[in-house]
Structure 1
Amino acid sequence: MDRDRSGTSDPAPRGSLSPKQEDKLNEWEPSPEAEYALDALTHFKSVIGPEGNLISNWDGLDDDSQSWYCAGLLRELFDDGYRELEERLDSQPRVAAAVGLSSKDPPHYSTLSRQIGKLDENTLEQAARWANNAALHQFLPRGNSPDALSEAPSKPRSYYEIVDEEWSVGMDEKMRQATRIVGEYLALTTPHLRSDRDRTAPNFKHPIESFIRLLAHIALEDWHLESGADILRWQSDDDVDVPTASTVRKYARKQEVEELEEKFLKASCALLEREELLPPGPVHLAYDVTKVRWYGAEHEWTSGGRKEANTTDFWHYAVLSATGPDRNYVLGATPMKKRTEIAQALRRLLRRVHTHADFDIGRIYFDSEMYREDIVTTCREIGANFLIQAKDTGDPGRLLEEARGGEPAKSSNIEFAGLTSPNKRVNGFAYPIHPGEVGSDNREESHTAWITDHDVDARDLRGLAYQYRNRWQVETAIRQLKHDFQGRCASDNRGVRTMYLGAAQLFFNYWVALNHELPYHLGQPATFRLNGQETLHAVRGADVESARRGDNTII
């Protein structure tokens, strides 16, 4: 029997293994066959049945009905015929007791055939896959404890090492697990996005997660809101809520831009409170601005720039990102009326991160476009240290000249134009560009200069220069926000545009979090990657209410 009809590439237990694999697995098996069956039955009876949705109303079934399900599971686990199942129950009293039947007088094989035959075969096959994987965690090396297992665990990584089989996971299994976890992400974040409306009111219709699902849908399909809402409604079941485009716009327009901005920032900070999603130690930040082409009528919030794709008008956005070697999250994104508001937007975002984030903030990275007095002043007002790439003029230019001999150069007393006494000076240093740094092959200079409030005499300048490379992550995040995680937006309303970018911010953060967390649910593959489209599929299919109840199923 092929137990893997779901599409996952996990091999079926035992019976489908080659003799060589069977022998290798038996060498590691510390408990007999009966212990394996007991572990599988325990997971089925304590988790799959009562806590999942695979079997409807499990707790409402009488003892006999639950016993037939357990017997059917046992048959699937060992690929038994009904005569063999009767013999197993007769010879293994503890297993028979766990099933809910008597080993002294087990049911005749014809009775087993009749009762199990009434049950849904696909349900039993699915339950057997999950129960088998849970049992493997109990008697193979490095398996998780029963309390750490979900309803539908994957096999432990050690299973593949023991049977000398390359780890892999099928698309169905990957997306099922991703959708389940995204449901938990939504349950964490959507409460911070709700309006002030009473959810128990008779005319309350659209929960905030329905808005997020629709915005994920138009990002996935690259559609405008009207067509996206119509098609999602047509594709969905009758009980799946899909708001109209006008309802989504009304939600965005009735809120202040800064209110929406703060809601999405709070939602992102709530996500990062989930265990293990943040890198250890202080979280370093990066700040940058970006522009989005505008083809509409003249608008007070758009401003000119270099001609690009038949337009010279752009919306400008400020983006604050948490950076790390392997985890990069967007904490805040907001439209700016003028580029002169760069420092004002930074001040607002930083204060909100200080208010809502449950982690220690390290330094903030800026590129040379932020080599400005108001940026330095803002960082000092907030109490945040900074590392700003300097222009190749003045004292930083002098440091670059001194460093051309191959050694770093530093100064703890650089006068920075625009800063007022007593804080008119900053520290600076120049250091060789690391090989492999973005753009390093095309630059004339062999060194880069920075200004900072760090003590350049006491700090490891090589480490600071190396870690600055993480600043590039904010630019990568910005590209993905605009091109991968946001639907088409032609609105000239600031609130609507803020909501689009805020949703893209959440989707990007879900994607980063999934790529860090999901491998542990899939057996910790060495090379695993979920792409943006798969993440948006997971958002569109997640069942938030089930996640809040702990069911974590897929609609």
Structure 2
Amino acid sequence: MQQNNSAVRVTHCDAFAEQITSAKKHSHVDLTHKWNPDADGDRAASHGSNIEIEHPVTDMAELQRRAHLAVQIGRENRTSAASTSCEGQQGTYEIAKTFDATMLDVADVALSVEETSFADLPIKPRHVKTVMLLDAWGVNSRREIVEHLDDHEDITTRIGYDTAPSNSTVARAAKSLEAVGHRDTIRAAATRSVHAVTRAGIQLPDSVAVAHGLDVPPIIDEALIEPETRRAAIRNWVSTVLDEVLAPITFDRAENTQFSVRAIIAAIAQAALVNGGVRAGPAAAAWYYDESDIPTAGHVSALLAGLNRDDIGRMFTLATERFLDVIGELGFFDEERDIACDPTWVTWWGEDDSDDPDSKLLRNPEECESGYGWCFSTVSLTDSDARFAVGIDIAGDKTERSPQFRRLMRPIKQRDSVGRVHIDREFFSAPAVRACRAIADDNWVIRAKQLSKGEVAEVIEATPVDESRFQSNVEFGGLSVAPNLYVHPVPENLQNRYQMSPQLAFLTDLSPAECDMADLFETYQYRWSAETFIRQLKHEYTPNTQSPNHNTRLFLFHLGTLLYNLHTLINRAASPQYALRLDVTYYEVLLGVVDSTFTRTGDTP
């Protein structure tokens, strides 16, 4: 296993630090994560946004979810202190003594966060402090804390005793606090104090760290993060992204606004979780969540059916642009990104209305399955650490595809992040060459068709199948500036991928003087990530529906693209609130959408 410094820096402000001489109220830490490059691969990317946190927090659950951050902050503070100190390694006795003393230093602040003070409690402060130490140490009996104080006379004196208290004294103190409803208050204050001591860089006794869930490595290891913290990070990721990108998804509704767009999307996500149609979502969600939060099945269906194709395309184009802004702020466009352009065919199982030009349905499209359906143009990034879908659009015929690609690639061009563009053979045409030149200058390749004609076919035919060849300025499609042609043999182990073709040919404006031509073939292999995206989109990410309305199906197809991007992002950047690198399944993303939107019922486990 290796360590990797992430791009995420935590800026921390700690009110508890004012009570600890060695602590810094304001601190910064560059988080480090533990990862296995062989297993984690592209998930180990260092993308993420800096976070700012403050202590105290009012919510105890949130305090516990920050345990891994407390340990990292403490490690940084301890390292900084060590660099200016000549003190040696502390022994067990000294560790306990320092911990107890620091606990007492912050006890007043911890109680104030719980909206009480020593003066407000019905027993003497020294007895309250003893009970706090009992809770801080997490010992199994009051006798243990008595023996501990008996061994540490200086702490006993500091608390206010002449000698260590008896077991019965501690028992009476705990019972008195219980009687007035403050026993849990002291437990919470003790936990807050332990976390404050940790953040200050004070070494915890081993048993204390275990008792409070602070026995995590100083290098963040996702496998050791508490499940609830992980779930909270997923919910936070979902909310952060959806709140930003869903604004354009308005359904163009002037009425029927009882439920938010987020609630509509969550109902659809719930339907996907149970592998049911759109109508299954609200009924399934009602088992776990407050029904008043959940739109009815009829409400969801009516909104989807009320859209038209242009509305859907426009809304999701704007949503995708917002998503690209999100990942751009996380640094994904700080370098050039290779692009894949590909078509895909989606079979339509509803009523045959392919004669209606507004439906964009095609009958028996060339090189697609029999029947009728839609052809989509897709643009996606192929780099392993950024496999996002950039755009998708429905194409009525082939003449639309090249202009679509040019338009869909424009957002990456505007971000000055276009690397090499790879286009499959379905778009082997002069308009596709022009589109590539407009977007990528000369850094593009288009795979040639096997049944090419003219000079392209002649060069391919003249090249032995086990040799490569470069030919400049081949005549193609009447282009005034002729492109180059590169032919490369296909290794036997890859021929099945290319329908047993022994060689591939590519049009390009690149030349041997600009790049190693064999690299064209190698980078083209990454274009298969587009095939993976399309397969997942059609068979995993697009929610099911039995609706005969083709606009409902079209909406869900676009929504599947958005959910795919959300899933890809969560697995490739540190989470925005807890700075965790996560490895989540698609179903966990759907659960995050639902659970961060609807209110759980009280009796739900």
Separation in structure 2 between the aligned mates of residue 471 and residue 274 of structure 1, nearest angstrom:
25
Of 305, 324, 337, which residue of structure 2 is paired with 1:269?
Answer: 324
Tell me the TM-score normalized by structure 1.
0.69
The residue number in structure 2 matching 1:389 is: 447
State the distance in 1 between where 2:526 and 2:539 align. Answer: 21
Residue among 238, 249, 264 paired with 1:211? 264
Q: What SS does structure 1 have at the residue aligned with 2:216? A: coil
Deviation string for 1:468-490 (max 9, x for gaps)?
11111111111111111121234
Q: Please, which of 32, 56, 74 is the counterpart of residue 95 of structure 2?
A: 32
TM-aligned CA distance change 1:360 to 1:453, over 3 Å: same
Aligned pair in 2 of structure 1 residues 405, 484: CA closer, same or farther (>3 Å)? closer
Superposed CA deviations along residues 345-393 of structure 1, whole A, max 9, x for unmatched, are: 22332234545xx461222211111212222222234455421111234
Partner of 1:365, secondary structure, is strand
Separation in 2, partners of 1:284, 1:439 = 24
Letter in structure 1 aligned against 2:351: A
Q: Quick check: 2:387–2:529 contact (8 Å CA) kept in 1? A: yes
Q: Give the letter aligned to residue 459 of structure 1.
A: C
Indicate yes or no: 2:217 matched with 1:156.
Answer: yes
State the AA in 2 paired with 1:262.
T
Match of 1:317 in 2: 376
| Map of 2:561 onto structure 1 | 505
**Quick one: structure 1 residues 310 and 327, their matched pair in 2 at CA, closer, same or farther if it must change by over 3 Å?**
closer
SS of aligned partner of 2:282:
helix
The answer to whether 1:377 aligns with 2:434 is: yes
SS in 2 for 1:517: coil
Looking at structure 1, the residues matched to 130 and 597 of structure 2 have their Cα atoms a distance apart, in angstroms, of 28
The one-letter amino acid of 2:312's match is V
Amino acid at match of 1:314: G
Matches within 5 A, 1:39-78: 61-63=115-117, 75=135, 78=138
**Which residue does the alignment assign to 2:593?**
539
Partner-residue secondary structure (3-state), 1:466: helix
Find the aligned partners of 1:397 and 1:70 in 2 and give their Cα distance: 89
* Structure-to-structure mapping, 1:272-421, within 5 angstroms: 272-275=327-330, 278=332, 281-299=335-353, 300=356, 301-305=360-364, 312-354=371-413, 358=415, 360-383=417-440, 385-392=443-450, 393=452, 394-400=454-460, 404=464, 406-417=466-477, 419-421=478-480
The answer to whether the 8 A contact 2:361-2:372 is kept is yes
Which residue identity lines up with residue 315 of structure 2 in the other structure?
Answer: L
- Asked if residue 178 in structure 1 is aligned to residue 234 in structure 2, the reply is yes
Aligned amino acid, residue 474 of structure 2: I
What is the RMSD computed on CA atoms of the aligned residues?
Answer: 5.2
Distance between the aligned counterparts of 1:375 and 1:226, measured in 2?
41
8 Å Cα contact 1:225/1:245 also seen in 2: no
Return closer, same or farther for 1:438/1:124 CA change in 2, 3 Å cut-off: farther
Name the CA distance, whole Å, in 1 between partners of 2:108 and 2:464.
71
Partners of 1:335 and 1:44 in 2: CA distance: 64
3-state SS, counterpart of residue 388 of structure 1: strand
Cα distance change of structure 1 residues 239 and 426 upon mapping to structure 2, 3 Å threshold: same
Distance apart, 1:238 and its partner CA:
4.3
Matches within 5 A, 1:397-546: 397-400=457-460, 404=464, 406-417=466-477, 419-421=478-480, 423=481, 425-433=482-490, 437=494, 439-440=496-497, 443-445=500-502, 447-491=503-547, 493=549, 495-517=551-573, 529-543=583-597
**Counterpart amino acid of 1:476?**
T
The 1:79–1:265 alpha-carbon spacing in structure 2 relative to 1, beyond 3 Å, is: same
Asked if the contact 2:216/2:224 (under 8 Å) is kept, the reply is: no
Does the aligned pair in 2 maintain the 1:179–1:541 contact within 8 Å?
yes
**Which of structures 1 and 2 has the bigger CA Rg?**
2
Q: 1:209: how far off?
A: 1.5
**Distance verdict in 2 for CA 1:412–1:439, change over 3 Å:** same
Q: Which residue of 2 aligns with 1:258?
A: 313
CA distance 1:129–1:313, change in 2 (3 Å): farther
Name the amino acid aligned to 1:363: R
Cα distance in 2 for residues equivalent to 1:448 and 1:316: 25
CA distance, structure 2, for counterparts of residue 321 and residue 503 of structure 1: 16
User: CA separation in 1, counterparts of 2:244 and 2:106?
Assistant: 27
SS at match of 2:233: helix
In structure 2, what is the Cα distance between the partners aligned to 1:126 and 1:287?
A: 58
Under a length normalisation based on structure 2, what TM-score does the superposition of the two structures give? 0.64
Cα distance, 1:302 vs. partner? 1.4
Q: Of 289, 293, 316, which residue of structure 2 is paired with 1:240?
A: 293
C-alpha distance in 2, partners of 1:322/1:258? 20
Q: Conserved in 1, the CA contact under 8 Å of 2:430 and 2:479?
A: no
CA distance in 1, matches of 2:235, 2:99: 29
- Supply the distance in 2 between the matched residues of 1:410 and 1:334 (Cα, whole angstroms): 34
Distance 1:38 1:342, change over 3 A: farther
Deviation at 1:539, TM superposition (A): 1.9
Q: Distance in 1 between matches of 2:154 and 2:257?
A: 53
> How far off is 1:408 after superposition?
3.0
Relative to structure 1, the CA distance from residue 293 to residue 441 in structure 2 (aligned partners, 3 Å threshold; closer, same or farther) is closer
Matches of 1:230 and 1:486 in 2, distance apart? Answer: 19
Task: Identify if the C-alpha distance between structure 1 residues 463 and 328 changes in structure 2 by more than 3 Å, giving closer, same or farther.
Answer: same
SS of equivalent to 1:516:
coil
Amino-acid identity (%): 19
Change in Cα spacing, 1:159 to 1:399, as seen in structure 2 (3 Å) is same
Alpha-carbon distance between aligned partners in 2 of 1:221 and 1:123, rounded to the nearest angstrom: 44
Distance 1:502 1:44 in 2: 54
Letter aligned with residue 178 of structure 1: I
After TM superposition, the structure 1 = structure 2 runs for residues 128-167 of structure 1, keeping only pairs within 5 Å, are 135=198, 155-156=216-217, 158=219
Q: Shift of the alpha carbon at 1:124?
A: 6.3
Query: How far 1:69 sits from its partner (Å)?
Result: 12
**Aligned residues, how many?**
485
The runs of 5 or more residues in structure 2 that have no matched partner are: 1-63, 72-88, 204-212
Deviations 1:494-543, CA, capped at 9 Å, x for gaps:
64334312221121112112222369999989xx7422222222222125
Residues in 1 aligned to 2:90 and 2:466: alpha-carbon distance in whole angstroms: 59
Residue 145 (structure 1) aligns with? none
Measured in 1, the distance between the counterparts of 2:424 and 2:261 equals 36
2:276 to 198, 204, 223: 223
Preserved CA contact (<8 Å) 1:190 1:208 = yes
Gap change, CA 1:225 and 1:81, over 3 Å in 2: same
Secondary structure, aligned partner of 1:205: coil
Q: Give the SS at the match of 1:297.
A: coil
Using the TM superposition, name which of 36-45 and 408-417 deviates more: 36-45
Deviates more, 1:236-245 or 1:503-512: 236-245
What is the one-letter code of the residue matched to 1:349?
L
Cα 1:319–1:307 change in 2 (3 A) is closer
Deviations 1:425-447 (A, max 9, x none): 112212343676483596240x3
Distance 1:309 1:444, change over 3 A: closer
Whether contact under 8 Å (1:485, 1:504) holds in the other structure is: yes
